[in-house]
């Protein structure tokens, strides 16, 4: 997506050789006009699917999920909550939540993510949306939750995919329709190289 690529090249930068910072428009300050356009682009790609719900993960996936939900005629957004240093079995044993373990690429820790069962009904058609795709851990956690709920996956919409990490390739190999609005090929001395 042209506008996103321009924003990445203008305001984004790399930290080390694998972290992309886009705080200026996606992860801290939010460029709302750009986000709404990104939501429309994801809608354009997935519009032939019947989408009942958009599922994302807190915190940074919520803005793009909301923009996408608006483009889908304001379907609801459900965001998985993160629980630091929690035990999946402790949360799941209460019977109210679907949970999965997710390793956080940015924080280098393992979190339990959860959604309340009542908000993710069986048979519901779910589009996953997230700001970044790196190793695919967050998406795999969300897919696990959707499976536990007996809901259906329409596809995976991503703002920025880091093409030099394996998440996108692995999810596509598993047969999921993954649409990324921009793909970063590499980080070269702090500069982002786009595909």
Answer yes or no: are the C-beta atoms of 130 and 64 closer than 8 Å. Answer: yes
Question: CB 103 → ligand 5GP: shortest distance, Å?
Answer: 7
Q: Which residue do the tokens 């700001």 mark?
A: 131
| Bridge partners of residue 161, in order along the sequence | 133, 183
Question: CB 83 → ligand 5GP: shortest distance, Å?
Answer: 15
Question: CB 152 → ligand 5GP: shortest distance, Å?
Answer: 22
Instruction: Name the 3-class secondary structure at 189.
Output: coil
DSSP string over 62-79: HHHHHHHHHHTTS--EEE
What lies within 8 Å, CB to CB, of 174 at 6+ separation is: none
In the bound state with ligand 5GP, the residue whose beta carbon lies nearer, of 20 and 71, is 20
Answer yes or no: are the C-beta atoms of 115 and 145 closer than 8 Å. Answer: yes
In the bound state with ligand 5GP, the residue whose beta carbon lies nearer, of 61 and 94, is 61
In the bound state with ligand 5GP, the residue whose beta carbon lies nearer, of 16 and 175, is 16
- Assigned token pair, 135: 């190793």
Helices marked H in the chain: 2-11, 32-46, 62-71, 88-92, 137-149, 167-173
Question: CB 110 → ligand 5GP: shortest distance, Å?
Answer: 11
In the bound state with ligand 5GP, the residue whose beta carbon lies nearer, of 25 and 132, is 132
Question: CB 70 → ligand 5GP: shortest distance, Å?
Answer: 20
Question: CB 55 → ligand 5GP: shortest distance, Å?
Answer: 12
In the bound state with ligand 5GP, the residue whose beta carbon lies nearer, of 65 and 138, is 138
In the bound state with ligand 5GP, the residue whose beta carbon lies nearer, of 47 and 84, is 84
DSSP 27: I
- Note the residues at the interface with ligand 5GP (CB under 6 A): 19-20, 27, 57, 60-61, 105-106, 130-138, 162, 167
């Amino acid at each position: 997506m042209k506008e996103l690529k321009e924003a990445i090249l203008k305001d984004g930068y790399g930290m080390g050789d694998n972290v992309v910072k886009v705080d200026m428009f996606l992860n801290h300050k939010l460029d709302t006009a750009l986000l709404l356009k990104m939501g429309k682009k994801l809608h354009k790609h997935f519009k032939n699917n019947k989408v009942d719900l958009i599922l994302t993960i807190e915190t940074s996936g919520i803005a793009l999920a909301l923009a996408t939900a608006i483009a889908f005629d304001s379907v609801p957004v459900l965001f998985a909550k993160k629980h630091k240093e929690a035990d999946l079995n402790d949360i799941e044993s209460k019977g109210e939540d679907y949970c999965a373990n997710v390793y956080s690429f940015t924080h280098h820790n393992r979190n339990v993510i959860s959604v309340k069962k009542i908000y993710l009904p069986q048979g519901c058609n779910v589009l996953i949306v997230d700001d970044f795709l790196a190793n695919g851990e967050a998406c795999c956690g969300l897919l696990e939750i959707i499976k536990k709920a007996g809901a259906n996956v329409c596809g995976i919409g991503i703002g920025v995919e880091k093409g030099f990490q394996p998440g996108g390739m692995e999810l596509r190999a598993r047969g999921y329709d993954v649409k990324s609005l921009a793909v970063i090929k590499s980080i070269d001395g702090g500069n982002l190289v786009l595909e």
